[in-house]
Structure 1
Amino acid sequence: MKLQIVKDSKGKDTGVFIPFEDWIAIKQIYPEIEIADQELSQWEKDLIDQRLEKIKNDPKSLKAGQELIEELKK
């Protein structure tokens, strides 16, 4: 996959260009990706805010992804 980073006039990364063929392949693996740009509902935003506040107040409560996956398998 040959990605291209899109930059603004100040050189700051602002986006990524994915070749169309690669985008089709990604959508086949992750069909739910099409809904990624939809607006979150208020309850989802509230839940995210609550979780971020908890992490801010107790950073040690944040677990590594692999650790979380292992815990979920139990």
Structure 2
Amino acid sequence: MALQYIQDKEGKTTGVIIPIEEWQALKSKYSELNKDFDNSPDLTSWQKEILDDRLSDYYSDPDNVNDFEETLKNIESEP
């Protein structure tokens, strides 16, 4: 199995990427793996409304956004 590991900035493994063909084979072999995906809840109406509002704000002024890396640095530097 050709797995890829995801690591955080300290080098700690935080996740694994499984090639889709191998994931499909695992799901076929172990039916309980399908349960998590089949039972995932839909968004509630209030969650959809928040997303719609945020998308509307973005589309009305797409240049008014914050850089992710800069925002992350600002958050990490706050006491």
Classify the TM-score, shorter chain: 0.3 to 0.5
Query: What is the TM-score with the length of structure 2 in the denominator?
Result: 0.45
TM-score, scaled to structure 1: 0.47
Comparing both structures, which one devotes a greater share of its residues to helix? 1
Higher relative contact order (CA 8 A, sep 6+): 1
